[in-house]
Structure 1
Amino acid sequence: MSTDTTKNTARNTGAASRTTLLRALTAAGGLAGVFSTFLAWTWTAEFPGDLTVYGYPGGLQLLTLVLALITTAFAGAALGIRGLRWLTPAGSTMALRGAALGTFATTWFTVIAIAVDLDGLVNLEPGGFVAALATAIPVATTFLLPDDTRPICRPKALPSWAEILIIAGAFAVGLYVLNYGIQTDADHPEPFIGYLIAVIFGALALVKSGLIARISALTTTHRSTTLVAALVTAVVFPFLQEKASFTELGVSIAIFATVALGLNIVVGLAGLLDLGYVAFLGVGAYTAALVSGATSSTIGVHFPFWAAMITGAVVSLIFGVVIGAPTLRLRGDYLAIVTLGFGEIFRITVLNLDGTSGPSVTNGPNGIPNIPPLEIFGFNFDDEHTFGGLTLDSNGNYYLLMLLVTILVVLVFSRAGNSRIGRAWVAIREDETAATAMGINGFRVKLIAFALGATLAGVAGTVWAHFQTTVVPEQYVFAGPVPPNSTFLLAAVILGGMGTIGGPLLGATLLFLIPKKLEFLQDYQLLAFGIALILLMRFRPEGIIPNRRQQLEYHETGQLDVPDDTGLPNSAVGVTKAEA
């Protein structure tokens, strides 16, 4: 018996020593990756980012530097270095694999892109070969490490000021990451592709480490601080942009994120598949264009912006009720087909209201151009304005306006979702028959969701019309390579996470930013978009920011497994035996 015990002890000691050695090699590989970014990777500045400088990382080298630092930090946490163990509450092995793979993929993409763009490996400097080799070491070692995934336990309490600093730092990092992606050179796809690779693997590593969950717990504890940090981050964004086109991109993202959040009420909370939602955006935009004093308006009135916004919202509300009243008695595919038909009917109708095929209202295919700039209490949104030494151009003005609109929509969504009517929406979404049997008036509840979603889209449409200075029917189609369209909005809700606030905002950001930066794909954009959705549905069906209920529904938890003679569910027994 003692001999067996001695053998087991020796075996465990040897396994522990091997694990420690592999973690040390991973840390050494991460440090080697950091060092390689301070070397020149190519001899010519023709490759985007100028990777010819010694001692100063640039371009795609910065992405390798960040991921290599993350790999080193996770390896240090795995080695038990004091102060770093807080980074991996869910275990270090899977986090290390994600970070190491990200470093490897980003670096090797850069090396291959240099060889392809400059015609041959001869264009690589020794630093490029050093980086390729150094980033391969952690990949090899992390796949030899045993899986140490564990449940996330409550961490040691930190001082309140430290937790607040962590929240502020998380928002600052998020703003920097988004800003980096927006400011990548649109003329060269390599920097943005490398950025996408780094963000995907970096996010995977942070999720697997449990760090995202730990920070989320902090934001829940300090809710007020989190809201203030989010607001400050959003307000600072336009002041950091170097070009007006970057701020313009931010305005478009804010508009479509707001519209996607309105659609989330219909789809995410009430469970109604609306394939013609972009029509309500068009109703608000056309209404605002007609009543805002445009020279080509057929009505000939000029409302102030607040009145135009209210008018657009009310008209969209009316359309939502008129369309929803006869159609919401349908369910499932039938409802989806009818809403798709409404979207096409709207586009065809505004095409025919040209004075020839029908009454002269919308100028047909010519649309309504020359919509005057917004002016609120003498504040002209097309003029530059200076605040405390900081200058905002017209795009910055519209961005801050859309920020206020987004806050309004978020408040409406939050209050409605947590109200009695919001719980009725969720009940209808989960099982309409059971909800009706419990006394919920399904038709009335669904009509309220449809009308509220239409109203929020109309509000965003009024700002969209003034920002674009023109509205034409081609902007409001079911599907197309350029947003807005119903497919884009629905995909933003599903990608981000149905029934959540952050989900549609993140989904709209990704779906608007990525096509803008990858315009070189041209006709292949829709193919890439479809492949991305298929992969998402396979590996993350609940969305990037999932609703807790849906996350449990989409993934097996073993909670309903039948216990065996051990008294534990089958899945738990499997884990126990594996660990043994």
Structure 2
Amino acid sequence: MTDTTLQTPAERGLLPLPAAVARPLIAVGAVGTIASAFMSWTWTPDFPGNLTIYGYPAGLQILALVAGALTLLHLLAQWRVKGLGWLNPSGATSPVLLTALSAFAVCWFTGIAIAVDLGGLVNLDPGAYVAMVASLLPVLGALALPHPAPGTGLKGYLGKPEQPRPGTLSPLAERAAVTVGTALGLIVFTYGIGINDDDSETFIGFLLVCVFAAWGLVHSGLLDRYTTMSTRHKGFAACLAFAAAVIFPFTQSNDHNANIGVNILIFATVALGLNIVVGLTGLLDLGYVAFLGVGAYAAALVSGSEYSPFQVHFPFWAAALTGMAASLVFGVLIGGPTLRLRGDYLAIVTLGFGEIFRITVNNLDGDSGPNITRGPNGITQIPDIQLFGFNLGDSHTFGSFTLGRFANYLFLMLIITAIVVLVFTRAADSRIGRSWIAIREDETAATAMGINGFRVKLVAFALGASLAGLAGTVMAHVNYSVNPQPYQFAGAAPPNSAFLLAAVVLGGMGTVSGPLLGASLLYLIPEKLQFMQNYELLAFGVALILLMRFRPEGIIANRRRKLEFHETGQLDVPAQTTLSEDAAVTKAGA
């Protein structure tokens, strides 16, 4: 056993324990956490998940088991066990601590939730106490491992450690790694979306494990390596992601989960359109949800609803083109006179446009104005879409699988989302896309270089509006109706402009996957945590404050914006050189 007094500062952790003791302590705690998942945590099935059965983990016990297994894996990787070096090639301490915190968080949260929900600690069975004690041991042991940044205290564990340059793999091995990563992502998403809406405790535990486990993967460098491989095989990774989304409905026995998936894709598609305006062009649009409403109302008026004043029934492709064209026209009409403004002035004008749209459709009820939108009642009884002889409102059987109405619409939205992603990526990589980025970085300099700033911004505004209109046409058919209530800046439930803007900022401006992830999180979390629905705006505000403080570039960062928001030390050497040259000139002059 090594005496802590003989350890160098770089070898000491926050706790005065030698590594020869810390690592076994972590291992014992991780194994104990795994074992506790097979014990009873409470005597009554009243707590969500039925944690009363010995030998059969369920609910939060499964999450504790996964967190304990991840802690053990990261420990063995940090311990340089043969075959696991790829998980933590630098041997960093922080991934072990973060995964240990995932087990600690879910076990202690469960114990406290049982005591609070059921009325006291007497409702905890021995398994809960074992889980709480066992999950604490890896945290203590990780704090005794070599400190990643000596002298910085707990703050030093938050900084991402430097990773060695990864070795190269064969193209086949990289594709296999991307396939495994996609499969794991599908499993995690399927498990999370499958948690019952009234089981908020299990979903909170799921979020805790995901946050700390993902944080640990970032610190170990594994997520960066996976991103690099996915970028190197971009087409293959995109096809895998699309295939995983197609497989998702076949994993669900409840069509309600497919409905959640449809809404996520609708809002993610609209967020991608907003990402063109905000992320690529740098225009702050606070009334973007109005374009979604324009597309939805335009499709509702021509899709055969008996409450539409225009008794016409266009096929879906014509209704979709009508919605896109209407949003495009409104985008040009609003953008034409306003896009010469900048910054806060543009934001105020777009906010006003959003409110004008909502008030207008609310007043076109036959009393305050012509009877076109039926005012607050909206346009209802919009028929389901029919494509190639298939009615998307009917259930369809494929072998032993039965796909309901929302699963059918999910497949339709997957195709539309793929089209929107293709349009976004092609536009961003084109000449006009580089002009958007130049306008975002410095409009004055871009104009001086010959870029027509007004025309470029108008194209971005119109393209983003038309993509939102396309998503609106599907949303009108999915919901069977449209009404003015959702189309406001901030509301009790999405869609609203605040939700869409938060999805873009949270996920990562200027990226494709960022708005997809942001829309998924911001829709799924309130859906599963019913008690938060009355505090949705408060939750948005807190999340954005934390994000701006710790990761202003978003969860999935655009490389350019990441360099803007974080000091990389690239200017240190030139600055020191300049000072040295100034000192030399001064000395020579003296």
User: Is the CA contact 1:76–1:84 (under 8 Å) kept in the aligned structure 2?
Assistant: yes
d(CA) in 2 for partners of 1:13, 1:205? 24
> Are 1:450 and 2:461 counterparts?
yes
The 3 A distance-change label for structure 1 pair 108 and 568 is farther
> Are 1:27 and 2:38 counterparts?
no
Q: How big is the shift at 1:25?
A: 2.2
Cα deviation code 1:42-97 (max 9, x no counterpart): 12222111111222211101111111111111100111101111001354311111
d(CA) in 2 for partners of 1:397, 1:137? 48
Aligned to 1:544, the other structure's residue is in SS state coil
User: Is the CA contact 2:553–2:561 (under 8 Å) kept in the aligned structure 1?
Assistant: yes
Match of 1:301 among 267, 287, 312: 312
d(CA) in 2 for partners of 1:191, 1:174? 19
User: Is the CA contact 1:262–1:454 (under 8 Å) kept in the aligned structure 2?
Assistant: yes
User: Is the CA contact 1:91–1:150 (under 8 Å) kept in the aligned structure 2?
Assistant: no
Aligned to 1:428, the other structure's residue is in SS state helix
Q: How big is the shift at 1:177?
A: 1.2
- Equivalent position amino acid for 1:426 in 2: I
Q: Equivalences for 1:211-222 in 2 at 5 Å?
A: 211-222=222-233
Match of 1:386 among 397, 406, 418: 397
Cα deviation code 1:474-531 (max 9, x no counterpart): 1211101200000100000000000000000000000001111112134223222211
d(CA) in 1 for partners of 2:263, 2:114? 33
Structure 1 range deviating more: 337-346 or 548-557: 548-557
* Equivalent in the alignment of 1:577: none
Aligned to 2:146, the other structure's residue is in SS state coil
Aligned to 2:308, the other structure's residue is in SS state coil
* Equivalent in the alignment of 2:47: 47
> Are 1:170 and 2:184 counterparts?
no
d(CA) in 2 for partners of 1:89, 1:456? 43
d(CA) in 1 for partners of 2:248, 2:211? 22
d(CA) in 1 for partners of 2:90, 2:227? 14
d(CA) in 1 for partners of 2:454, 2:575? 46
d(CA) in 1 for partners of 2:103, 2:533? 29
Q: How big is the shift at 1:359?
A: 1.8
Aligned-residue CA RMSD (Å): 2.2
Aligned to 1:391, the other structure's residue is in SS state strand
Cα deviation code 1:358-394 (max 9, x no counterpart): 1221111111101111011211000111224322111
d(CA) in 2 for partners of 1:13, 1:448? 58
- Equivalent position amino acid for 1:124 in 2: L
* Equivalent in the alignment of 1:68: 68
* Equivalent in the alignment of 2:94: 94
* Equivalent in the alignment of 1:574: none
Match of 2:248 among 231, 237, 240: 237
The gaps in structure 1 that reach 5 residues or longer are: 1-6, 570-580
Over the matched positions of the two proteins, sequence identity in percent amounts to 60
User: Is the CA contact 2:258–2:410 (under 8 Å) kept in the aligned structure 1?
Assistant: yes
> Are 1:56 and 2:67 counterparts?
no
Aligned to 1:386, the other structure's residue is in SS state strand
Q: TM-score, normalised by structure 2?
A: 0.92
* Equivalent in the alignment of 1:576: none
d(CA) in 1 for partners of 2:9, 2:530? 55
* Equivalent in the alignment of 2:157: none
Q: How big is the shift at 1:562?
A: 4.4
* Equivalent in the alignment of 1:4: none
> Are 1:257 and 2:273 counterparts?
no
Q: How big is the shift at 1:224?
A: 2.9
The 3 A distance-change label for structure 1 pair 155 and 456 is same
Cα deviation code 1:168-214 (max 9, x no counterpart): 11111111111111111212321111111111111111111111011
* Equivalent in the alignment of 2:539: 528
* Equivalent in the alignment of 1:114: 114
* Equivalent in the alignment of 1:78: 78
* Equivalent in the alignment of 1:191: 202
User: Is the CA contact 1:343–1:477 (under 8 Å) kept in the aligned structure 2?
Assistant: yes
* Equivalent in the alignment of 2:130: 130
> Are 1:208 and 2:222 counterparts?
no
The 3 A distance-change label for structure 1 pair 198 and 30 is same
Cα deviation code 1:520-551 (max 9, x no counterpart): 13422322221121111111111000101111
Q: How big is the shift at 1:424?
A: 0.4
* Equivalent in the alignment of 2:505: 494
User: Is the CA contact 1:23–1:78 (under 8 Å) kept in the aligned structure 2?
Assistant: no
The 3 A distance-change label for structure 1 pair 268 and 79 is same
User: Is the CA contact 1:269–1:426 (under 8 Å) kept in the aligned structure 2?
Assistant: yes
The 3 A distance-change label for structure 1 pair 554 and 171 is same
Structure 1 range deviating more: 521-530 or 552-561: 521-530
* Equivalent in the alignment of 2:588: none
User: Is the CA contact 1:77–1:92 (under 8 Å) kept in the aligned structure 2?
Assistant: no
The 3 A distance-change label for structure 1 pair 515 and 434 is same
User: Is the CA contact 1:479–1:485 (under 8 Å) kept in the aligned structure 2?
Assistant: yes
Q: Equivalences for 1:430-445 in 2 at 5 Å?
A: 430-445=441-456
Cα deviation code 1:395-443 (max 9, x no counterpart): 0000000000000000000000000100000000011011111111000
Q: TM-score, normalised by structure 1?
A: 0.93
- Equivalent position amino acid for 2:256 in 1: S
Q: How big is the shift at 1:245?
A: 1.1
Q: How big is the shift at 1:223?
A: 2.4
d(CA) in 1 for partners of 2:533, 2:325? 38
The 3 A distance-change label for structure 1 pair 565 and 287 is closer
The gaps in structure 2 that reach 5 residues or longer are: 149-159, 581-590
d(CA) in 2 for partners of 1:470, 1:565? 64
Aligned to 2:144, the other structure's residue is in SS state coil
Aligned to 1:474, the other structure's residue is in SS state coil
* Equivalent in the alignment of 2:104: 104
d(CA) in 2 for partners of 1:566, 1:72? 47
Structure 1 range deviating more: 343-352 or 327-336: 343-352
d(CA) in 1 for partners of 2:430, 2:276? 13
Q: Equivalences for 1:362-377 in 2 at 5 Å?
A: 362-377=373-388
User: Is the CA contact 2:97–2:139 (under 8 Å) kept in the aligned structure 1?
Assistant: yes
> Are 1:544 and 2:555 counterparts?
yes
d(CA) in 1 for partners of 2:66, 2:364? 56
User: Is the CA contact 1:313–1:459 (under 8 Å) kept in the aligned structure 2?
Assistant: yes
Aligned to 2:569, the other structure's residue is in SS state coil
* Equivalent in the alignment of 1:403: 414
d(CA) in 2 for partners of 1:292, 1:564? 64
